[in-house]
Amino acid sequence: MNRPVVALTAASASIQWSIWGEVEACLLPVTYQEKVARAGGAPLLLPPIADAVRPIMERVDALLMTGGEDVDPALYGEEAGKFTRAPDKVREAAELAALAVAEERGIPVLGICRGLQLISVVRGGTLDQHLPEHSPRVPGKYDARSVRVEPGSVLGSTLGASATVYCHHHQGIDKLGSGLVATAWSADGVIEGAEAKDPAAPFLVGLQAHGELGEDTVPLFEAFIEAARRGPRRGGAPRG
């Protein structure tokens, strides 16, 4: 079986590693990698090293923008709010570089949680920096939530009219970026998914929930991998 290679953005952090004690490591929950592999892809961790991104991204078939810390508010022209956590600027620089190459090549892009937010922000979108009603009831634990999905959209064709997803976020999209259209919402109207407005554009989809978890999102990952098999397409969603 042809397994398209999917670059997965990763973070760096200090961890306690066996007898070596504290070590700087490149990290990503294995659930992302498992979901990509289950859908038929070959996951490849993309290190948060901006200078090394282009030669990797020129060889892969798709990009998965994963979840993580809050997006730097400076990217959308705002100061950090009271509840906004410090951004990982090293990772952010690598992700922005990776997204730019993915768009240049016309390869599929899937954004999860923070990944969706970053995709929107680089197109001129903004974020609501704190949504207390969307914050997890227990930090570190995901909350199951039902979302409404637009029929006829990529998310609608893979998730159905509604889906149970798993969330852990306190920020959300305020103004959606240029070239994107909202295609999923929570019960209170917060955007939970968005994708390229032009259906002829390359696969460009974002889900606010953690799609690497749960069964309802398996078809979304399968569609993502199938798009990667078809190869690059030109004429993606324009940036603002």
Catalytic residues: 113, 210, 212
Which residues, 6 or more positions from 170, have their beta carbon under 8 angstroms from its beta carbon? 83, 130, 131, 132, 134, 135, 136
Integer angstrom CA distances of residue 195 from 17, 52, 125, 162, 237: 39, 28, 13, 16, 9
d(CA 137, CA 134) in angstroms, rounded, equals: 9
What radius of gyration, in Å, describes the C-alpha atoms of the chain? 17
User: Which among 56, 47, 63 has a CA at the least distance from the CA of 6?
Assistant: 63
Tokens read off for 149:
């999905």
Eight-class DSSP state of 77 = T
Return the C-alpha torsion angle 75, 79, 81, 87, nearest 10.
40
